[in-house]
Amino acid sequence: MEGEMMTGNLAAAWGARLAGVDYVPAFPITPQTEIVEALAKWCENGAMAARFVTMDSEHSMMTAAGAAAATGARVFTATSSQGLLYAIEVLYSISGWRVPLVLVNVSRALAAPITLEPDHNDVLASRDCGFLQIHAETCQEVLDSILMAYRIAEDERVMLPVIVNLDGFYLSFTREPVIIPDPEQVKLFLPPFRPAHLGFKASAPHALGVAVLGGTPYSYFRHQMHLAAMNALDVHREAAAAFEQLFGRPYDVVEGYRLEDAEDVLVMTNAFASKGKGAVDVARAEGKRVGLLRLRMIRPWPADAICHALQGRRAVAVLDQNLSPGQGGILFQEIAACLYHEALRPRALCSFIGGLGGKNISEGELRAIFEQTAEAGIRGKGIGPVLLYTEAEHREMVQLQVLAAGSRAES
Amino acid sequence: MTWQRETFKKIKQIPREEHVLPGTALCAGCGGLEALRLAAKVLGDDVVYVNAAGCFTMLAAYPFTPFKGSWLYTTMGSAPAGAQGVRDALDVLIAKGRLPKEEDLKVVVLGGDGSTYDMALSSTSGAITRKLDFYYFCYDNEAYGNTGAQLSPATPYGARTTTSPCSLQHPSGTTQEKKDIFEIWRAHKPPYIATVAPRYPLDLEEKFARAAKFTGPKLFLALSACPTGWLYDPGETPEVAKLAVETGLWPLKEAINGEVTHTYIPKRKPVEEYLKLQGRFRHLFEPTRQDDAIRHIQARVDEYWQQVKG
Amino acid sequence: MQAVRFHGRGGQGAKTASRILGTAAFLEGYQAQDSPIYGAERRGAPVAAFTRIAKEPIRERGLIARPDLVVIADASLIDDPAARVLDGIDERTAVFVNSSLTAEQLGAQTSHAGRLTTLDLTDIALQQFGKRGAISALLGAVAGRLVGLRRESIHEAIARELADFGLAAPVIERNQTVALQCYDAVRTVSVVAGAPQPIAPAQLQVPTYEPPTRGTARISAAANSVLRETGGWRTFRPVLVPDKCNGCWLCFAYCPDGVISMNKDDRPVIDYDHCKGCQICVHECPTEALVAEREKEGAVAWKAK
């Protein structure tokens, strides 16, 4: 086996190190902390030629990150969950400045109730802020995506920041073999950072992020961010081609798994997609024609690639590891919207909610998804949102509630 | 020992060149702009202003900027962190040879009192603790001015704001005491902190000139008399500022590495003369005079200067 | 429906005037709607406010592009391109201007199609209140007269709207009295509600991508704020009496906007394109060499380029 065993967090740190970043403002938060610990060590011992600064909050951290990138430095930072939401005001500023830094988010469910394990409500809360989003399934993909993220972000056709997302625990603390790309090859892949519109200096003063009065300029600039994000689809394709040529690993905005003759398709993101692929294999062995579509790029939304993968299927199930209370799964809505105009759209679209707060999604639950989705396809009517929650989990929950209530009788 | 100005002895030493040009949307008679304009005469153009949300946000409003230097608008709560990012990036780029040394800039945070005294305090405290080499220019108009004069942590006892109106329960309007941000900064032991008032331009210019010698966090707390929020005629801005200083309410001072020197010792006119000028204190005088409140304000000033004489 | 657009400078009371009109119409049983435009502009800068009055439900919001009546609180606004007071005015539009000139005199100087009437509210306010400042009650009363609202409703509306400012009862009463004098004094022109116009669909032009040098809120020009003139903010202008000037530099030192420079003879030179008229220099001049003169339209030196 090639490479070496490392966690998703260490792979993220390696991505920043290989990208030759100049600056790392940091703030610890579980389950991300290991990333900044590794970077602190490397900045200190000279393995990286970057300045590492521990900030006073994620809000300050993101501000420093954006301001440094606006000054012309290549910047990396990382956070998670509450930290991401604490900084979210600044995310909008940074994308508005059109500053191309890379932020790793290690997904973790949001309080309240406070918890540590992952789901995707944190990263999807930043869905509309103008950052591009790449969601990784493996530790290798975390590292590779960070390198690609810089190349895409710094392209003049894009100039937007990127979030690379990985799941807390299931990737952040999980070790698996990762190939560390050759630094010289990385230099070929990633040209130096020389943005035309950024960089404060005495000889060329400029004002950035200035107020605009009235909707005319505001609409214009906000729409430019949209066009820039849409350009990232082409730029990603070019970057992926160059990456494959140099490093031999192909990436696309979506990844199809055993889709070729699949009747029913399960849509997933992030680390649990590995489990989804396992469930596809089991079902295939039983002769069921199922496949999996993993969304890798969430922003820009790869509508064409998604439609291409899902058109003509009998039924599609979207497994959202997030919940928008009062609406359901966030990605389900987006999938449904982009399939609307497909003449060959699936007969049924099913919405499943699973893995909230890091809850496991068992093989049995995945099997239930395939069964219910097949039935929906036959019926020609979708279902959901259905929360993946087993009888055993329900029993466990009741016991916890009994303990929490103690002797006080509350109804 | 009396404080001596070394660089700015005569008013005609104030540099003629303007660095904050006219055409801005700030109110006529803005005391904050008056202070910034004077400060910029010493700071020059090799500056990047890192702005927090506040009245000054409107200085650079697309497509116009009054500055010959650079500007970055951040947020209300994190302009010092923005300064950190800019300063660090300049240092890194210069160290790596990607930016010539002569392209270097002074990093100057612009924040109102709302940002400075409360929302950005964590960010500020962090920046001072990290010994960030930057200027912090606070235009203190003692209220959230950009939103129309609401209570801020800098609002003094007895002032009426739109969110601390006077009522039967609270006849004085504001019941809190103005937060002592100078001492909060001083507790961090930065190399230089000063209060200024633009009505005392030589004192202001001298302090900026002195601060330039220090590397690290440098605070300027600028009394920013505000005709719009304090309710007086715009032409009286210098008069209001003068009385703030002459009554002892706004001490002119500096602290070098924590050691405080008062740069001007006022004869201390009664505070009433200052209060009477402004609509925000009118309720202390009419329809009925609130002697207790006025005495309270006077007592606080007396107490302060007692301790100064110590 | 009658659509009334108020133009003023921050602090003059255009917004409150629009509310007085709205409240007065409401009191008379009309459907009414009033709203200001909040820019980032400050005291002295152009502001606008809108009042709609109708018998039927009002199916509009926000700015009034085709006003039936335009109320201009400050004649200098006519020359200020940023204020856009003449937008959407045609021959049926009634236009009131707070001006010392008659409608005929002012009409000779300005070029717009509207039907003019004037009254010198600033002078009335100076005489009756003894200081410059908000003329909201006066503007509201004049507007009320022009759209045909009754004296009593204007009287009551002024009380209601000014009470929000915490003004003492005698001050409010004084405002009511003076406002109704203006109500009576203004020469009326009929306000004709515009007929619905056929509206062509907008020609949409969706922008294409530009590099971020242009495509983000960024200014690479240096100190270009001078292109924006703020001279029109003034009600009073500082004027130098050269004989009295002792060349002390104080006016230069204290000017917030930096519009006073000292010439080689140490005499102040005032940039009237940008002077906002705060009068700090007038207040602080130790020799009274700077005096305040009221801006007069027609005769003013300041003009938009």
Same domain as A270, residue A228? no
What residues have CB less than 8 Å from A51, skipping those under 6 apart?
A22, A23, A24, A43, B88, B91, B92
Is the same domain home to A22 and A153? yes
pLDDT band at C199, cuts 50/70/90?
confident
Mean of pLDDT over chain B: 96
CATH number, position A125: 3.40.50.970
**Residues A302 and A164 both lie in one domain:** no
Q: What is the nearest CA distance from A299 to chain C, expressed in angstroms?
A: 17
With CB atoms and an 8 Å threshold, state whether B130 touches A213: no
**pLDDT one-digit tens code per residue, A108-166:** 999 999 999 999 999 999 999 999 999 999 999 999 999 999 999 999 999 999 999 99
Report, as an integer, the average pLDDT of C222-228.
95
The pLDDT tens digits for B102-154 are 999 999 999 999 999 999 999 999 999 999 999 999 999 999 999 889 999 99
Pair A23, B85: CB distance under 8 Å: yes
- C-alpha triplet A26, A29, A30: angle, nearest 5°: 140
Rg (CA), chain B: 19
Residues of B in contact with C280 (CB under 8 A): 29, 34, 234-235, 237-238
The ipTM estimated for the assembled molecules is 0.97
Q: Do residues A68 and A158 share a domain?
A: yes
Contact A199, A100 (CB under 8 A): no
Residue C39 has pLDDT above 70, yes or no: no
Are A24 and A91 members of one domain? Answer: yes
In a domain, A378, yes or no: yes
Contacts of C108 (CB under 8 A, 6+ apart): none
The pLDDT score that the predictor gives to residue C131 is: 66
Check whether C190 has a pLDDT greater than 80.
Answer: yes
Which residue in chain C has the smallest CA separation from B72? C218
Distance from CA of C219 to the nearest CA of A (A): 5
Percent above pLDDT 90 for chain B: 96
Range of the domain at B282: 26-309
pLDDT tens, residue by residue, A255-274: 999 999 999 999 999 999 99
Give the strand pairing for B192-196 and B253-256.
antiparallel
Residue A160 · residue A91 · CB < 8 Å: no
Q: What is the DSSP letter of B212?
A: T
The structural domains of chain C, ordered by start, are 2-185 (3.40.920.10), 227-294 (3.30.70.20)
Task: Report the CATH number that the domain containing residue B265 is assigned in CATH.
Answer: 3.40.50.970
- CA-derived radius of gyration, chain A: 22
Whether B201 is covered by a domain: the verdict is yes
Q: Are strands B217-223 and B253-256 parallel, antiparallel or unpaired?
A: unpaired
Size of interface A-C (CB pairs under 8 A): 61
Structure tokens at C241: 């009496």
Question: Domain containing A344 — which CATH number?
Answer: 3.40.50.920
Q: Is residue A408 part of a domain?
A: no
Q: Is A402 a domain residue?
A: no
Question: Residue A294: left (phi > 0), alpha (psi -120 to 50), or beta?
Answer: beta
In one letter, which amino acid is A352? F
Helix (H, G, I), strand (E, B) or coil at B204: helix
CA angle C6, C11, C14 (to 5 degrees): 15
Residue A400 lies in a domain: no
* CA A106 – CA A169 distance, rounded (Å): 9
Instruction: Write the secondary structure of chain A as one string of H (helix), E (strand) and C (coil).
Output: CCCEEEEHHHHHHHHHHHCCCCEEEECCCCCCHHHHHHHHHHHHHCCCCCEEEECCCHHHHHHHHHHHHHHCCCEEEEECHHHHHHCHHHHHHHHHHCCCCEEEEEECCCCCCCCCCCCCHHHHHCCCCCCEEEECCCHHHHHHHHHHHHHHHCCCCCCCCEEEEEECCCCCCCEEEECCCCHHHHHHHCCCCCCCCCCCCCCCCCEECCECCCHHHHHHHHHHHHHHHHHHHHHHHHHHHHHHHHHCCCCCCEEEECCCCCCEEEEECCCCHHHHHHHHHHHHHCCCCEEEEEECEEECCCHHHHHHHHCCCCEEEEEECCCECCCECHHHHHHHHHHCCCCCCCCEEEEEECCHHHCCCCHHHHHHHHHHHHHHHHHCCCCCCEECCCHHHHHHHHHHHHHHHCCCCCC
A280 & A228 share domain:
no
Per the prediction, chain A carries an average pLDDT of: 97
A113 with A43, same domain: the answer is yes
Interface of B with A in 87-146 (CB under 8 A): 88-93, 96, 98-99, 102-105, 122-123, 125-126, 130
Does residue A410 lie in a domain region? no
Percentage of residues in chain A with pLDDT exceeding 70? Answer: 99
Indicate yes or no: CB of A228 within 8 angstroms of CB of C209.
Answer: yes
Contact state of C216 with A220 under an 8 Å Cβ cutoff: no
C209–A197 CB contact, under 8 Å: no
For residue A409, is it within any domain? no
The answer on A95 and A243 residing in a single domain is yes
Q: Above 70 in pLDDT, residue C40? A: no
Which of the listed residues A220, A247, A274 is the one where a domain comes to its end? A247
Q: Is residue B152 part of a domain?
A: yes
Domain match, A241 and A334 both: no
Q: Among A247, A273, A301, which residue terminates a domain? A: A247
- A401 in any annotated domain: no
Nearest to C209 by CA among B157, A335, A27, A300: A300
User: Residue A390 belongs to what domain range?
Assistant: 257-394
What is the rounded CA–CA span in Å between residue C183 and residue C200?
39
- Which chain B residues touch A53 with a CB distance below 8 Å? 84, 88, 130
- CA–CA gap between residue B221 and residue B112 (Å, rounded): 10
Q: Please check the confidence at residue C302 and state whether its pLDDT lies above 60.
A: no
From CA B222, how far away is CA B220, in angstroms rounded?
6
Domain count, chain B: 1
Instruction: Say how far apart CA B187 and CA A387 lie, in whole Å.
Output: 53
Distance CA C161, CA C153 (A): 12
Q: How many domains does chain A have?
A: 2
Judged by CB atoms closer than 8 Å, whether chains meet at B25 and C45 is answered as yes
Which chain C positions have a beta carbon within 8 Å of B282's beta carbon?
none
* Average confidence (pLDDT) over A187-201: 95
Q: Is residue A93 domain-resident?
A: yes
B127 within some domain: yes
On chain B, the residues whose CB falls within 8 A of the CB of A198 are none
- Is the domain of A212 the same as that of A309? no
Contacts of C283 in chain B (CB under 8 A): 235-236, 238-239
CA gap C105, C116 in Å, rounded: 10
Q: Do B26 and C222 touch (CB under 8 A)?
A: no
